[in-house]
Amino acid sequence: MNVNSLPLLLALTTLLPMAAQAQPIPSPGNLSPNLDVPKNVNIRTTISGTITAKNPDQILKAYGPVKCNQFKVTLRQSDPNYVTVRVPGQPARSRFPDSYAPVTVQATGNHIGLGCKFSLAVPANAGEKAYLVAEVPLEWLRVSPSGWQNPMPLPIAGFKHDGGRNFVANLVEIK
């Protein structure tokens, strides 16, 4: 075999198999017309985050492994601490009419030591600010915002996801 033909032989053995496997990319006009693409897609703005324990060992000693499904996160227009009216036998309601009903979701995950996640959809008529509150039915466990405060600005229409609303759970210490 001639030494001058080796580069040609090498090129043929490496490039020809790659060229044989290459396939043309279809242009958008060549796509099948019967693809089912939904016409009325409703993209909702969401708020999500995590609930973590400030001191997991202390909470574990006091309550055991606190399950994530015990935490409820609510988005509401009015401040839940100052404007509720409690009528015996009826759920608490706001003194002032809200433009939307409060949205409540249950946190997901295993237990507070590993962190609990939540994600909720913001109503279309929610406005610019709202209160995001996390609650747990345990008496001495308080959940507070971490790195932000209420009322919080809601995500604007261009940003469909706000994933930075985290909470910290801590035991209340009586001194």
Q: What is the pTM of this model?
A: 0.67
* pLDDT mean over 90-96: 66
DSSP annotation of 102 reads -
**AA letter at 110:** N
Instruction: Look at residue 10 and tell me if it is in a domain.
Output: no
pLDDT of residue 16: 63
Question: Which of 48-57, 110-119, 162-171 has the lowest average pLDDT?
Answer: 162-171
Which residue, chain included where needed, has tokens 């608490």?
92
Instruction: Look at residue 130 and tell me if it is in a domain.
Output: yes
Instruction: Look at residue 30 and tell me if it is in a domain.
Output: no
Instruction: Look at residue 6 and tell me if it is in a domain.
Output: no
**In degrees rounded to 5, what are phi and psi of residue 85?**
-115, 130
What's 164's domain CATH number?
2.60.40
pLDDT in tens, 5-36: 767 766 667 766 665 565 666 666 555 555 56
pLDDT of residue 145: 93
Q: What is the torsional sign of CA 126, 131, 132, 136?
A: negative
* pLDDT mean over 123-133: 87
Domain count, the chain: 1
| Domain range for 60 | 46-171
Instruction: Look at residue 22 and tell me if it is in a domain.
Output: no
